[in-house]
Chains A and B, each alone.
Chain A
Amino acid sequence: AQKITQTQPGMFVQEKEAVTLDCTYDTSDQSYGLFWYKQPSSGEMIFLIYQGSYDEQNATEGRYSLNFQKARKSANLVISASQLGDSAMYFCAMREGFLDFGNEKLTFGTGTRLTIIP
């Protein structure tokens, strides 16, 4: 089974609209972290937002927010007021068992390519 599932290979959104990128995860650990990264066409990986499994509130960072629904095992990224510069690949990632030494790896999803239309 996939650890991280991103079901939207591509999305097109009108500039200034909000967009939700879906991410579901699979883990039996109680302690885990969920991350979103942005990869523009230039190739670098830019950290956007983090949500810990014990965090009570949804994470927010500027125009980015994470809609964390623990029971449904989903961690959707919401981008408000989209801009042309938001056009990129977006990856959801998970780190499991962060209370244990030797569990540092991030497991990535296959990504969603977001295109903002002017």
Chain B
Amino acid sequence: EPEVTQTPSHQVTQMGQEVILRCVPISNHLYFYWYRQILGQKVEFLVSFYNNEISEKSEIFDDQFSVERPDGSNFTLKIRSTKLEDSAMYFCASSVLAGGLSTDTQYFGPGTRLTVL
């Protein structure tokens, strides 16, 4: 069964460094998303991406964050200058479309645990 994959599974970085988290969405999906989950807290939406542009973003997704689809398969989240509070699990998700059908469900990848020291 197709699945969303993410690399790396765990990333440790120093405060102020740039990180890039990578995702390969399910191949026939058109919408891509990033969410984050700070340890012990609920999952929070960051951004959604469709047709090579951001379609929705949250207040968390400030100028330090950017997303890109550099080729036909990868979807990346870049954090330019990491802060301690960026430490979290980052989930990539994808969906076929974004309508009201059950087939528009968002499927999540296994996550990347980012630790900022």
Residues of A within 8 A of B (CB): 31, 33, 35, 37, 42-47, 50, 52-54, 59, 91, 93, 98-99, 101-111
If A52-B100, A102-B56 touch, whether A44 touches B110 (CB-CB below 8 Å) is yes
Could you give, for residues 45-71 of chain B, a 1 whenever the CB lies within 8 Å of some chain A CB and a 0 otherwise?
A: 100101000011010000000000000
Most chain A beta-carbon neighbours within 10 Å: one of B50, B93, B98, B100: B100
- Contact across chains for A45 and B91 when beta carbons are under 8 A apart: yes
Q: Chain A's nearest CB lies how many Å from the CB of B60? A: 11
Q: Does B104 contact A (CB under 8 A)?
A: yes
CA–CA, A22 to B82, complex, Å? 37
Residues 8-35 of B, flagged 1 when their CB comes within 8 A of A and 0 if not, give: 0000000000000000000000010101
Given contacts A45-B108, A107-B45, 6 further A-B contacts (CB under 8 A): A33-B100, A44-B110, A45-B111, A47-B107, A98-B99, A109-B42
In the complex, what residues of B have CB within 8 A of residue A47's CB?
Answer: 105-108
A55's closest neighbor in chain B, by CB? B102
Count B interface residues, CB 8 Å: 31
Q: Which residues of B sit under 8 angstroms from A44, Cβ to Cβ?
A: 108-111
Residues of B within 8 A of A (CB): 31, 33, 35, 41-45, 48, 50, 55-56, 58, 89, 91, 93, 95, 98-102, 104-111, 113
* Known A45-B91, A110-B42; contact A98-B111, beta-carbon cutoff 8 A: no
Query: Which residue on chain A has the smallest CB distance to residue B35?
Result: A106
Given the contacts A43-B89, A106-B45, A107-B45, A101 and B108 also touching, CB distance less than 8 Å: no
Taking CB as reference atom, which chain B residue is nearest A43? B111
Query: What CA separation (Å) do A37 and B100 show in the bound complex?
Result: 17
How far, in whole Å, are A16 and B42 apart by their CA atoms in the complex?
28
Find the B residue at minimum CB distance from A35: B105
Name, among B48, B106, B110, the residue most crowded by chain A CB atoms within 10 Å (CB to CB). B106
